[in-house]
């Protein structure tokens, strides 16, 4: 018997072991005797059952027809000038479309500028820091000074 199953038994059937399923009754009683937390749950369930037993059994059921009539009589009529809400269009607004397009264009231009900056760096070689293979690939063999 797990603590969760024991709590489920108490919630579903109450604290009276006679109402518990016969196949789980012995395991639940043994769990309650062995576990202080389960014993506390069983005690709380017994107190709840005692409170429920004190309720009057002959309490009148609510008159549903009268309750429905009362609800219908006090219901408000919809106003004539209220516009019904429509679901929002799934197509984006033109302003949002232009903003997205402008952001994409700006990102492309920034990428182009950064890329062009690297091209200038490749054409002017710093022979002091370049390796021999980089200089050979760039066609700057004459500057090596062998």
- Give me the pLDDT at residue 18, please: 93
Q: What average pLDDT does the structure give for the chain?
A: 77
Separation between Cα atoms, residue 117 and residue 123, nearest integer Å = 11
What is the value of pTM for the model shown?
A: 0.40
Dihedral (Cα; 81, 87, 92, 95), 10-degree rounding = 20
C-alpha distances in Å from residue 112, one per residue of 7, 11, 102, 123: 67, 68, 15, 17
Separation between Cα atoms, residue 63 and residue 30, nearest integer Å = 46
Separation between Cα atoms, residue 139 and residue 142, nearest integer Å = 8
Sequence ranges of the domains in the chain: 3-54, 98-144
**If pLDDT is split at 50, 70 and 90, which confidence band does 20 have?**
very high
Q: Give the rounded distance of the alpha carbon of 107 from its chain centre.
A: 33
Separation between Cα atoms, residue 7 and residue 24, nearest integer Å = 13
Dump pLDDT digits (tens) for 60-69: 666 778 877 8
Dump pLDDT digits (tens) for 54-99: 877 776 666 778 877 877 777 666 666 666 666 666 666 677 778 8
- Give me the pLDDT at residue 78, please: 61
């Amino acid at each position: 018997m797990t603590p969760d199953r024991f709590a489920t038994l108490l919630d579903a059937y109450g604290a009276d072991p006679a109402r518990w399923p016969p196949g789980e009754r012995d395991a639940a009683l043994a769990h309650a005797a062995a576990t202080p937390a389960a014993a506390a749950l069983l005690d709380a369930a017994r107190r709840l059952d005692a409170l429920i037993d004190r309720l009057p059994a002959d309490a009148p059921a609510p008159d549903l027809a009268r309750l429905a009539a009362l609800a219908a009589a006090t219901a408000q009529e919809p106003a004539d000038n209220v516009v019904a809400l429509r679901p929002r269009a799934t197509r984006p607004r033109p302003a949002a479309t232009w903003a997205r397009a402008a952001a994409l264009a700006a990102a492309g231009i920034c990428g182009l500028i950064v890329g062009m900056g690297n091209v200038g760096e490749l054409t002017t070689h710093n022979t002091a820091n370049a390796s021999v293979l980089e200089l050979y690939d760039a066609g700057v063999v004459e500057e090596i000074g062998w």
